[in-house]
Structure 1
Amino acid sequence: MDQKRIRELEQKISTDYGNTTGVAVLKEGKLVYEKYFKGCTRESQVHVYSVTKSIISILIGIAVDRGYIQSIDQKVLDFFPGYIVRKRENTIQNITVKDMLTMTAPYKYRFFAPYVKYFTSEDWVKFSLDLLGGQGKIGTFRYAPLIGPDIFSGILVKATGQSVFEFADENLFSPLEIHVEGDLMFKSKEDQLAFNESIDTSGWVRDSLGIHTAGWGLTLSPMDMAKIGQLYLNKGIWNGKRIVSEKWVEESTREHSRWKKHDLSYGYLWWVNEDGYAAMGDGGNIIYVNTKDKIVVSSSALFVPKVRDRIDLIKTYIEPIFR
């Protein structure tokens, strides 16, 4: 490695990306760089925010591969036969799993999501279902950060008969030797704020009914995320074992919708770019996969508002060193 450029990279991270807790780089499946910041080590896990969505995408793919979910063209309400639809509410009845995977399902809230009511509600899946649909048009990109994705967790529980964490641990985490402690539940707002600032908490957040979050709430390390990226670069194979189908990997990481306002392409809960795809979470948490150069970059970070673009950091300062 070019040690001069490595020093420049680490100085750049310390100066302009100071909330970073760790970075790992794989080239053609081999670890070529690993560095930790802010007192963290390889074992440190942090809340990776919306990277959780891409993990959920993999779990949906595994569930489809194994026949738990017949097709992503199934209607969302097929999985919730007991859900009572309000009178004159027709949109929700036509929304499919695919609509939600591509963030083209409408929601009743517009500019101000009811986060306080969401966090204090007992059943996050039902809360999300109650906001799904409305007057919006199916097929128009509508990014749902926190409220909405939990419906995927409800679908996985209904389809597999397991908790999301149990299904993930058996079919994804354990095969990749990713260790996540288990359930996390907040008793107060202070608990949640402490979780967001922690570098030594491991687990997956759930609601009071035991349903794990799908849009946020998972802790991972940079090496955990790098393994996920390498799994996808390997088209779903890990150490010679098929974890998720090649078809799902390819389908989930190609453009199905576009956030026109920001000129961003979206797959199935993965962001798509000209060189490959990425899982991205608040604060600068990222799994970046360059399919052309066979490079995986993962970075973990603690939340701060208005962080600098990690894609720019990767393309300008990291890829040129290892390409």
Structure 2
Amino acid sequence: MQGNSTNVDDFFSISSSSTQDEFWPSNSSEWTEVAPEEQGLNSIKISEMFEYIENLSFFALDSVIIVRNGYLITEEYLHNNEIYRNIDNPKSYYGNTTIHYQASVTKSLMSILIGIALQEGFLTNLNQKLYEFYADIWESGFIYGEQKKNITIEQLLTMNSGLIADWHALYPSDAETKVTTNSIKFALEDVPLGFTPGAEGEFTYSND
């Protein structure tokens, strides 16, 4: 794609403001796949996108899914940045049933779930504090325990809770074990604060 326009409008074959039929499936088995042009996308640009991905050298993509107006446009799984189904002798790799490490995608999923919880009345507002939900397991010996009690849902979502980001460096020997065993208790008991909750922001894994 070198030399080609990367303007997002190039991906649309018609005006993005045009009325499109919408179909949102109720479960994963009902997704309907259609040609890109049926939903106003440019199939040539999508092909060029995959050509560009194949030439990437600084990181690898394992899958690409494009959904528009509830319709599946593209679903491809990749191996070494090459489309899996185009490989002559592909190794067993990621597919549509493979469990994949999500990393910070969890942040977006958590925000969506919090929004649903608010809409359904399970939460009152984003100012509710961490302590309200974990009072039954809270112990006096938790590091920075009194300050952590004041951490709000909003602070966790916006990454200004104060929970320190690099807990791997602090607990190189047992961090992974503790997180796997009980990630909530690990965050409450062991993860220190880098600053007062709400005072500043810092990208961190601890808020997930």
Q: Distance in 2 between matches of 1:31 and 1:108?
A: 39
Match of 1:37 in 2: 78
Distance 1:30 1:84, change over 3 A: same
Q: Distance in 1 between matches of 2:103 and 2:121?
A: 29
1:22 counterpart = 2:63: yes
Match of 1:52 in 2: 106
Secondary structure of 1:63's aligned partner: helix
Q: 1:118 aligns with which of 149, 152, 175?
A: 175
Greater strand share, structure number: 1
**5+ residue gaps, structure 1:** 150-214, 216-323
Secondary structure of 2:65's aligned partner: strand
Secondary structure of 1:55's aligned partner: helix
Distance 1:89 1:22, change over 3 A: closer
**5+ residue gaps, structure 2:** 1-36, 85-93
Q: 1:67 aligns with which of 95, 101, 121?
A: 121
Match of 2:204 in 1: 144
Match of 2:4 in 1: none
Q: For the aligned residues, what is the CA RMSD?
A: 3.1
Match of 1:90 in 2: 146
Question: Which residue identity does 1:31 align to in structure 2?
Answer: L
Using structure 1 for the length normalisation, give the TM-score.
Answer: 0.39
Identity of aligned residues (%): 24
Distance 1:76 1:132, change over 3 A: farther
| Cα offset, 1:128, TM superposition | 0.6
| Cα offset, 1:134, TM superposition | 3.7
Q: Distance in 2 between matches of 1:97 and 1:118?
A: 24
| Cα offset, 1:97, TM superposition | 1.5
| Cα offset, 1:9, TM superposition | 2.3
Counterpart mapping for 1:73-84 below 5 A:
73-82=127-136, 83-84=138-139
1:107 counterpart = 2:167: no
Contact 1:23 1:35 in 2 (8 A): yes
Distance 1:97 1:116, change over 3 A: farther
Question: Which residue identity does 2:156 align to in structure 1?
Answer: M
Structure showing greater radius of gyration is: 2
Secondary structure of 2:127's aligned partner: coil
Secondary structure of 2:107's aligned partner: helix
Q: Distance in 2 between matches of 1:55 and 1:132?
A: 22
Contact 1:108 1:133 in 2 (8 A): yes
| Cα offset, 1:74, TM superposition | 1.3
Secondary structure of 1:46's aligned partner: coil
Question: Which residue identity does 1:136 align to in structure 2?
Answer: F
Question: Which residue identity does 2:153 align to in structure 1?
Answer: V
Distance 1:107 1:69, change over 3 A: same
Distance 1:108 1:33, change over 3 A: closer
Contact 2:164 2:193 in 1 (8 A): yes
Question: Which residue identity does 1:142 align to in structure 2?
Answer: E
Question: Which residue identity does 2:140 align to in structure 1?
Answer: V
Contact 1:23 1:36 in 2 (8 A): yes
Counterpart mapping for 1:1-323 below 5 A:
5-16=45-56, 19-38=60-79, 39=84, 40-82=94-136, 83-86=138-141, 90-107=146-163, 112-114=169-171, 116-121=173-178, 122-131=181-190, 134=193, 136-139=195-198, 140-145=200-205, 148-149=206-207, 215=208
Match of 2:11 in 1: none
Higher relative contact order (CA 8 A, sep 6+): 1
Question: Which residue identity does 2:158 align to in structure 1?
Answer: T
